[in-house]
Amino acid sequence: TMPAFCLGLIADIQYADCDDGTDFSGQEHRYFRNSLNIARRAVDCWNAEGVDAVVQLGDIIDGCNSKLKESEKALKAVLEVLSKSVVPRYDLIGNHELYNLHRPELEKCGLRCGPSGGRSYYSAHLGDSWEGIFLDPFEVALIGQPQDSPAFREATQMMQDHNPQVLAGAKDWFAGLPHEKHRYVPYNGAISQQQLEWMKTAIRSAEADSRKILVFLHVPLYEPATKAKTVVWNAEEILQVLHEHGESVVAVFAGHDHDGGYAVDEGGLHHITMNSPLTAHGDCFAILECHDEGWAHFKAFGRACVESNTLGNGRAYPELILAKDAVNVASPVSRASEEGSLQLQAMGFDGSEAKKALEATSGNVDAAVALLCG
């Protein structure tokens, strides 16, 4: 059947006009300028495919722009690219937005993170039979909130309870910290009780309208779809509500963890953590086709979603069927052979022939060339 509604999806563009670098650990390579090229290709693809709306899952620019005093300039550059898609766009607040700009400035600079001048979480009709619920997982946080605010005080108390060394200025936030508490660090946050109550109401109102529901937020809710270090502080409270409405809620989309991941939880909810264009060599975005019958089809372009817990090097999911009891399997092709295939195509070999040759040679590019030239 033809999808009733199509969404373009992208996460963690983290653009900066600066030379390639790495993360704090030195392990993750970051291609700051290239992320804008990927965003351009995403928009071209979305326009060609005729999407009805776009969701930008947060971290649109990198924190390093703040040191460079280029936050607004970098944001303008990305928004200029995204505005080549004329459909409605839904933006989410990520930690890097808050490293760059004060909350009141987000809207002034062109981000669409909620109703004008109001709260930072919201819902929207996605066509006639779907509803999008967009959450703000930094409403209670140590970043982006004035230090005299109740939200900051609540965040400080949570940190005191779970990982007090952060407040004591520890260099290593994770030293001696039990695995299940790894989420309690300043680049994550929580949703307030008020936001939780609002979410319940938004879900009930979508259900009254017989709509299926998709949840979007920057930080993942379910550890098996990401890692312990990138989970919302009060994720279980949120999941409990979503499971109470398991017949209506189909999937949760997040970014934040550049390595991506995917898992289905015990309530049958699909959790998709999208990979970041910042660390990608090829494409890294998706289209979500939402069907009237209440299921959705996630179509990845490049490595937009890969196996959890593989540091981003696992097998990619070319597509995901998001329906109750659907089982999704990653492509048997590893990252190395995907990159090998791109290399061979750059040498002028046919794409499908290149894939076959790589499969026959267990991903060895030189052996594949010899085979192709046979």
Q: What's the pLDDT score for residue 367?
A: 86
Q: How far apart are the C-alpha atoms of 310 and 201, rounded to whole Å?
A: 37
- One-character DSSP codes across 132-162: EEE--TTSBSSSSS-TTSHHHHHHHHHHHHH
pLDDT digits (tens, 9 = 90+) for 90-123: 999 999 999 999 999 999 999 999 887 678 999 9
Q: Which residues of 36-74 are buried (b: 16+ CB within 10 A; e: fewer)?
A: bebbebbbebbeeeebbbbbbbbbbbbbbbbeeebbbeb
Average pLDDT, the chain: 94
Element (H, E) at 272: strand 270-273
Per-residue pLDDT band at 260 (split at 50, 70, 90): very high
pLDDT at 51: 98
Rounded (10°) CA dihedral 289, 217, 262, 36: 70
Report pLDDT digits (tens) over 298-344.
999 999 999 999 989 889 999 999 999 899 999 877 777 777 888 88
pLDDT at residue 197 is higher than 90: yes
pLDDT given for residue 115 in this prediction = 83
Q: Higher-confidence residue: 358 or 260?
A: 260
Angle formed at CA 99 by CA 256 and CA 219, multiple of 5 degrees: 20
From CA 76, how far away is CA 88, in angstroms rounded?
17
